[in-house]
């Protein structure tokens, strides 16, 4: 599970800071999460293949989280994209994108599918044979969701020494990897634990973009491996955070501690502060396993 931060600052883009966008890699699939201005430039900068992005998740319709989307969609067309593109976001995102395409007399030469969201309850919005994605309802000034990515358990790994010792034919390998015991011709039952090793534990990643401090998130985030939680402000601006429905670094740490997550990634920093290290300083006394997002940072989990 790898995470590349393309942008993680609040509000407007600047020369050296970019609004929210990140690429999550799980089971060799790439997922783009939010798409602020300049996202496609950052994708090129970090050598992320456009053709491998087939699913884009937009948390909400504030500009610093999706104003780069129409440009990316258009560039896909210019590059001769053939793969379908699926976009998951709040109701209204289809109207916004289609209007821009229509009024600019533009088009796409690939399948463009919108999955519009309006539920205030967590729901399954994507599933394949390797992972699932659920929404995480957030409390912000407009309808907003975070996203919870969970790997499905992988099949078990063959113990080739045991398989060879018992002269098991290859036609039984898949059954064994699926977790079944094996009965030999003489009636001997070989337990699956004897013939296989445990697969790696499934990983999970939760993305919580703009949200006020909300303890309702805790059950949804319980035990996730990595939590990205917005931390727009420091404690000195906690009142402003409540007014604008954003969180402080300390509040993000409180959520992480209560949900017993393994690691917390802070981001969505207000650009009023000179150093993002201050966010870690305020969060770490509450929750130790703190990572700081920053533009261009790559995490391997």
As annotated, the active-site residues are: 64
How many Å apart are CA 262 and CA 257, to the nearest integer?
A: 9
How many Å apart are CA 50 and CA 72, to the nearest integer?
A: 9
Cβ atoms of residues 157 and 43 within 8 Å: no
How many Å apart are CA 66 and CA 38, to the nearest integer?
A: 10
Long-range contacts, 109-113 (Cβ 8 Å, 24+): 109/77, 109/80, 109/81, 109/82, 110/76, 110/77, 110/81, 110/82, 110/83, 110/84, 110/85, 111/83, 111/84, 111/85, 112/73, 112/84, 112/85, 112/87, 113/84, 113/85, 113/86, 113/87
Beta bridge partners of 21: 7, 35
* 9, 26, 161, 200 from 3: Cα distances, Å: 16, 9, 36, 19
């Amino acid at each position: 599970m790898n995470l590349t931060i393309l942008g993680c600052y609040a509000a407007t883009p600047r020369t050296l800071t970019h609004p929210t966008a990140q690429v999550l890699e799980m089971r060799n699939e790439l997922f783009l999460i939010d798409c602020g201005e300049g996202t496609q430039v950052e994708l090129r900068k970090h050598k992320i293949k456009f053709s491998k992005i087939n699913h884009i998740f937009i948390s909400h319709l504030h500009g610093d989280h999706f104003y780069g989307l129409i440009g990316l969609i258009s560039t896909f067309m210019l590059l001769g994209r053939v793969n379908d593109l699926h976009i998951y976001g709040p109701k209204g995102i289809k109207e916004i994108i289609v209007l821009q395409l229509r009024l600019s007399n533009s088009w796409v030469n690939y399948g463009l599918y919108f999955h519009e969201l309006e539920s205030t309850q967590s729901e399954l919005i994507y599933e394949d044979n390797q992972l699932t994605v659920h929404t995480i309802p957030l409390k912000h000034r407009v309808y907003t969701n975070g996203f919870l990515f969970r790997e499905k358990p992988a099949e078990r790994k063959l113990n080739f020494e045991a398989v060879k010792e018992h002269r098991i034919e290859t036609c039984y390998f898949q059954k064994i990897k699926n977790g079944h015991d094996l009965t030999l011709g003489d009636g001997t039952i070989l337990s699956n634990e004897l013939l296989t090793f445990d697969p790696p534990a499934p990983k999970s990643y939760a993305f919580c973009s703009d949200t006020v401090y909300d303890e309702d998130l805790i059950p949804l985030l319980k035990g996730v491996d990595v939590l990205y939680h917005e931390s727009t402000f420091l404690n000195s601006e906690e009142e402003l955070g409540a007014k604008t429905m954003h969180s402080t670094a300390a509040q993000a740490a409180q959520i992480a501690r209560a949900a017993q997550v393994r690691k917390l990634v802070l981001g969505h920093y207000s650009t009023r502060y000179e150093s993002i290290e201050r966010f870690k300083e305020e969060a770490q006394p509450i929750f130790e396993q703190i990572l700081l997002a920053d533009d261009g940072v790559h995490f391997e989990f």
